[in-house]
Homo-oligomer: A and B are copies of this chain.
Amino acid sequence: MSEWMKNVRKTEPYIPGEQPKADNVIKLNTNENPYPPAPGVKKACREINTDKFRLYPDPDVTELTAVIADYYGVNESEVFVGVGSDDVLAMSFLTFFNSDKPILFPDITYSFYDVWAELFGIPYKRPALKDDFRIDINDYMEPNGGIVIANPNAPTSLYEPVSDIEKIIAKNSSSVVIVDEAYIDFGGESVLPLIHRYDNLLVVRTFSKSRSMAGIRIGFAMGNPLLINALKDVKSSFNSYTMNMPAIILGIEAVKDDVYFKNTLEKIINTRNRVKAELEEIGFMVLDSCSNFLFASHENIPARVIFEKLRSENIYVRYFDKPRIDNYIRITVGTDSEMDAFIEALKKIKKSVDIC
């Protein structure tokens, strides 16, 4: 072993859902939006002044920040933009979680939280969700170095009411509480208005799901200007220019078209509710989703078997080989025709298993 390897940081990287390169697959495994971005995105992409690529982009991402602030009715000084919500969350962990006390997040949640904690050497504790996968807010009332709550939660799809989240925020005024609202546009009320009441609340959002912009990498945080300035300082100590010109220009267009945005959300929510009922008809227990995915367990076919059989039919869903959730599959809501094909494939699997 080369001697320099002794000083290499040890990591257990986050493993994202598979990104199959073939085109003939039904991809329901990474919670992408089945519909393209707003039409204005295409138009803007065609019109970009590519000669300007020779220049550095705006390090302060001023225009996109202004458009986001305007849309959400907050001040520009209350918005921080990053390379997807993962970048925003990574920067937030690095910025705010420097206590000796452990940070807290549920045992079942977005599996990047413990990866960041490990990467930055942040102590952490994972209170167990209740048997019904709901948060027990009493678990978040002890001394801590910070709190992270995904709401709606992933991969469970469950939403906790603002009143409960507020109790956690109010009780923990001496640590930063991050509410990761990656899926909030698909259902549930946001805690966003609370940023004006609690200076320790940071709300994190993404363009990757509801705005169909996963490929462009835009996420943002909203909170008190003290929080935002601290984040900006750390970001500027890491990389002055994280957002490239296309991301800034196309991101603005994605926010502008609110009619398209709302229509797309409505379609996905309708499909989700319809598919949930159909899954229940063929023997699945499906959690009440407030997101763009469903978390489901079958009464007699093991989740791993379903996952593998679907995969052999070129239908990709997500399976987590982890305690408590290893008999569930997570299914992103696709287009209606994709979901029809998915349900058909499940019926075929059910039939083949019933025969065995």
Give residues in A with beta carbon < 8 Å to B: 2-9, 11-14, 16, 19, 27, 30, 32-37, 41-42, 45-46, 48, 50-59, 83-84, 86-87, 90, 94-99, 115-116, 118-119, 145-146, 173-176, 199-200, 208, 212-217, 226, 230, 232-234, 236-247, 250
Contacts and interface: CB of A to CB of B under 8 A. Distances in A.
Contacts of A37: 50-51, 53-54
B16 A59 contact: yes
Count of identical protomers in the assembly:
2
A25 to B, nearest CB: 11
A57 B199 contact: no
B199 A2 contact: yes
B241 A84 contact: yes
Given A4-B199, A37-B51, A41-B53, 12 more contacts: A2-B173, A2-B174, A3-B173, A3-B174, A4-B174, A7-B96, A9-B98, A32-B56, A54-B214, A57-B217, A87-B238, A115-B237
B226 A244 contact: no
Contacts of A13: 232-233, 236-237
3 closest Cβ pairs, A-B complex: A3-B174, A13-B236, A36-B51
Contacts of A239: 83-84, 86-87, 90
Contact of A97 (B7, B214, B241): B7
8 contacts: A4-B199, A14-B240, A37-B53, A53-B214, A54-B215, A84-B239, A215-B245, A244-B244
Contacts of A84: 239, 241
B216 A14 contact: no
B58 A4 contact: no
